[in-house]
Amino acid sequence: MKLQQFLGGIEGLGPVAVEKRVFVQPWEARLFGVHATMMGTSIWAWPDLRVKAEGMNPLDYFKYRYYIKWQGAMAEFLVERGYIEAAELDALTQRFLDNPDTPLPEKGNPHITDRVIDYLWTGDDPYRNIATQPKFKVGDSVCVKDVPLGIHTRLPGYLRKKVGVVEVVYDGAYLYWDKGPTDGLGTPQPVYNVRFNTTDIWPEIPDHGDVLYNDFFEVYLDSVQQQ
Amino acid sequence: MSTHDHDHDHQHASGEHHHHDEERGPESYYAARTKALESLFREKGLIGTDTVDRVIHFFDHEMGPFNGARVVAKAWTDEAFKARLLADANQAIKELGLREGIEGENLKVVENTPSTHNVVCCTLCSCWPWPLLGLPPYWFKDPVFRARVVREPRAVLKDFGVELDSAKKVAIWDSSAQVRFFVIPQRPEGTEHFSEEQLAALVSTEAMQGLGLVSTAQQGA
């Protein structure tokens, strides 16, 4: 079991770090620029990054700042896929540590920039305009499956085995990712918005009438027998 | 995390580079490694010399929370627009000249009311409506925020300085598939004469995900 797939509802963690900045160090913005380039040139996609995040040591996942984790994931991925070599990355890191004023090389591919910016304006719409027969309809009670644990999931752990009501059946079908390991998201499928009473998820909390909505790929839902 | 940045000049035997790096402060290591990554990308023709600068500029000027604030101000002043926004956000934002884009292919706008307060989170990662809010701030990605907000939203709101009216119900939106959620906060009292620009200036990123309220009081920093 991977803690990162079961974050929702953990108790005893203390206050939230209310840091309202997007980047807290200048290098984080530049790292993000490299990440955006990897996205915009199809070197990787969100699920690749999420696989890395979910595969981390959970104590490190809590310990390290967001972009520190990203940097580790990016470097690992780039080495695994042969885009760079670990030794050259380490050697160059040391060179910039020893001589922080060393300029970056004035070379590159000038066509990449527009491609990346165009990608930021376009994104990757996962919508697939195919005929589907959704299993559930608005108002149906559904039970979240306790699917086998996987390397990568879009099922929040705290909702496993909980019962909610279908609020929205989204049009068409959505493909999450067919290029890597998931727990059933490799084919286009209907997606549902499901409403839960938070006291049905955590019976021990005070009842304020609060509700929680989550979007589910169809593979994660089962019907509930009407009583 | 310590950012204490000694510039030790200890000379270590070879093989102790890592220890040496840590003594100089981790931030200098991460900065150097980021430069190394961009440098390798340039050498290998995987990036342009201006790509990173253009991406940073893009999120400073094109895709940021200033877009969402305009949407809120318009929704507060135009009921028909608000109705269209709640029904089909991707279409409605185009009326303001705003564009969709990455992480905003499927937007859903919800509205805070006297009886319901909406809060957005992503317990699995950091899904966020980029075309309206730019990039997510650190708090949204904090595992502690993500762990706690679904089970104890009122206590988390207190960490943000928000004391919720006890009569309100909280609706939490966990972003686990393709939809990215956005909150229209409640319009503060005493703003009837405000222009859309003045209204937009009151709206924080936090308020547009339900972790802040909008008020006319001057806020520090």
A8 and B150 within 8 Å at the Cβ level: the answer is: yes
Q: What does the pLDDT look like over A70-123, one tens digit per residue?
A: 999 999 999 999 999 999 999 999 999 999 999 999 999 999 999 999 999 999
Closest chain B residue to the Cα of A156, Cα to Cα: B124
- Note the pTM of the prediction, 2 decimals: 0.93
User: B-chain residues within 8 Å CB-CB of A190?
Assistant: none
Query: What distances in angstroms separate CA A202 from CA A61, A197, A210, B151, B167, one per listed residue?
Result: 25, 9, 11, 7, 20
Last residue of a domain, one of A85, A104, A122: A122
Q: Domain with A20 in it: what CATH number?
A: 1.10.472.20
Domain containing A206 equals 128-223
B155 touches chain A (CB under 8 A): no
Q: Model confidence at B25, in pLDDT bands (50, 70, 90)?
A: low
Last residue of a domain, one of A122, A142, A164: A122
B58 touches chain A (CB under 8 A): yes
Closest chain A residue to the Cα of B58, Cα to Cα: A117
A66 and B159 within 8 Å at the Cβ level: the answer is: no
Structural domains of chain B, with CATH: 25-59 (no CATH), 67-209 (3.90.330.10)
Residue B121 is a catalytic residue: no
For residue A142, give how far its alpha carbon lies from the nearest alpha carbon of chain B (Å): 17
Alpha-carbon gap, residue A14 to B180, rounded angstroms: 27
pLDDT of residue B147: 98
A153 touches chain B (CB under 8 A): yes
Q: What does the pLDDT look like over A4-42, one tens digit per residue?
A: 999 999 999 999 999 999 999 999 999 999 999 999 999
* Residues A108, A171 share a domain: no
Q: What is the mean pLDDT of residues A125-132?
A: 78
* Residues A203, A111 share a domain: no
Alpha-carbon gap, residue B184 to B111, rounded angstroms: 5
* Residues A48, A29 share a domain: yes
Closest chain A residue to the Cα of B24, Cα to Cα: A97
* Residues A163, A54 share a domain: no
Q: Which of B28, B121, B122, B195 is catalytic?
A: B122
Q: ipTM of the assembly?
A: 0.96
Q: What does the pLDDT look like over B131-171, one tens digit per residue?
A: 999 999 999 999 999 999 999 999 999 999 999 998 999 99
- Nearest partner of B201 among B48, B73, B29, judged by Cα: B73
B138 touches chain A (CB under 8 A): yes
* Residues A113, A10 share a domain: yes
A129 touches chain B (CB under 8 A): no
Three-state DSSP state, A12: coil
How big is chain A, counted in residues?
227
A147 touches chain B (CB under 8 A): no
| DSSP state for residue A215 in the 8-state scheme | E
A78 touches chain B (CB under 8 A): yes
Q: Model confidence at A128, in pLDDT bands (50, 70, 90)?
A: confident
Last residue of a domain, one of A71, A103, A122: A122
A193 touches chain B (CB under 8 A): yes
For residue A11, give how far its alpha carbon lies from the nearest alpha carbon of chain B (Å): 7
Q: What is the mean pLDDT of residues B84-111?
A: 97
Q: Which of B2, B14, B28, B127 is catalytic?
A: B127
Q: How many domains does chain A have?
A: 2
Q: What does the pLDDT look like over A136-167, one tens digit per residue?
A: 999 999 999 999 999 999 999 999 999 999 99
* Residues A101, A36 share a domain: yes
* Residues A67, A37 share a domain: yes
Residue B126 is a catalytic residue: yes
* Residues A188, A102 share a domain: no
User: A-chain residues within 8 Å CB-CB of B147?
Assistant: 7-10, 13
**Quick one: how far is CA B193 from the chain centroid?**
29
Query: What distances in angstroms separate CA B169 from CA A209, B87, B152, B153, one per listed residue?
Result: 6, 22, 12, 10
Alpha-carbon gap, residue B65 to B26, rounded angstroms: 30
Closest chain B residue to the Cα of A208, Cα to Cα: B169
* Residues A215, A183 share a domain: yes
Find out whether A188 and A174 touch, Cβ atoms under 8 Å.
Answer: yes
DSSP result, chain B: -------------TT-HHHHHHHT-HHHHHHHHHHHHHHHHHHTTSS-TTHHHHHHHHHHHTSSHHHHHHHHHHHHH-HHHHHHHHH-HHHHGGGGT----TT-SSEEEEE--SSEEEEEE-SSS----HHHH-SPPHHHH-HHHHHHHTT-HHHHHHHTT----TTPEEEEEE--SS-EEEEEPPPPTT-TT--HHHHHHH--TGGGGTSS---SS----
Find out whether A114 and B55 touch, Cβ atoms under 8 Å.
Answer: no
Residue B125 is a catalytic residue: yes
For residue A226, give how far its alpha carbon lies from the nearest alpha carbon of chain B (Å): 26
Q: Which of B28, B126, B204, B215 is catalytic?
A: B126
B172 and A104 within 8 Å at the Cβ level: the answer is: no
* Residues A7, A42 share a domain: yes
Is the per-residue pLDDT at A218 higher than 70?
A: yes
For residue B180, give how far its alpha carbon lies from the nearest alpha carbon of chain A (Å): 10
Put simply, the chain B residues between 178 and 207 with a CB less than 8 A from any chain A CB are 178-179, 205-206
* Residues A141, A105 share a domain: no
For residue A198, give how far its alpha carbon lies from the nearest alpha carbon of chain B (Å): 7
Phi, psi (degrees; rounded to nearest 5) at A115: -65, -40
pLDDT of residue B37: 98
Q: Domain with A216 in it: what CATH number?
A: 2.30.30.50
* Residues A151, A94 share a domain: no
